[in-house]
Amino acid sequence: AQSVTQLGSHVSVSEGALVLLRCNYSSSVPPYLFWYVQYPNQGLQLLLKYTSAATLVKGINDFEAEFKKSETSFHLTKPSAHMSDAAEYFCAVSARNNNDMRFGAGTRLTVKP
């Protein structure tokens, strides 16, 4: 079975600073990996996904993530935080032979002016 662990339930950065949200996965088979964002009172929206093409994946709003098999990691980064990035971010993993996605506990990102 697959699972993900998000390190840090709450991350706070200043506007313009680097955003780094950490995610480690566990999977017995090659995984698909995803990052979702949830704004208050909304559903989750897909930010980006890794599906075995390039290991560096670019998503919406200048977010990107790098799949590192040796570290079993899929950390999310953004060079410069914007106030509108304040939200909850979820890492997720699914196996390639099924569509059963497992979500991490989420990381709440706060952006200070």
Residues that bind another protein (CB under 8 A): 32, 34, 36, 42-46, 49, 51, 90, 94-103, 105-106
| 78 token code pair | 């953004």
Measured from the CB of residue 19, what is the shortest distance to another protein in angstroms? 21
Q: Which is nearer to another protein, 35 or 81 (CB)?
A: 35
What DSSP letter does each residue of 72-107 carry, written as one string? Answer: TEEEEEESS--GGG-EEEEEEEEETT----EE---E
Contact 18, 78 (CB under 8 A): yes
Measured from the CB of residue 42, what is the shortest distance to another protein in angstroms? 6
Q: Which is nearer to another protein, 74 or 106 (CB)?
A: 106
Measured from the CB of residue 34, what is the shortest distance to another protein in angstroms? 5
Instruction: Find residue 64's DSSP bridge partners.
Output: 58, 77
Q: Which is nearer to another protein, 16 or 58 (CB)?
A: 58
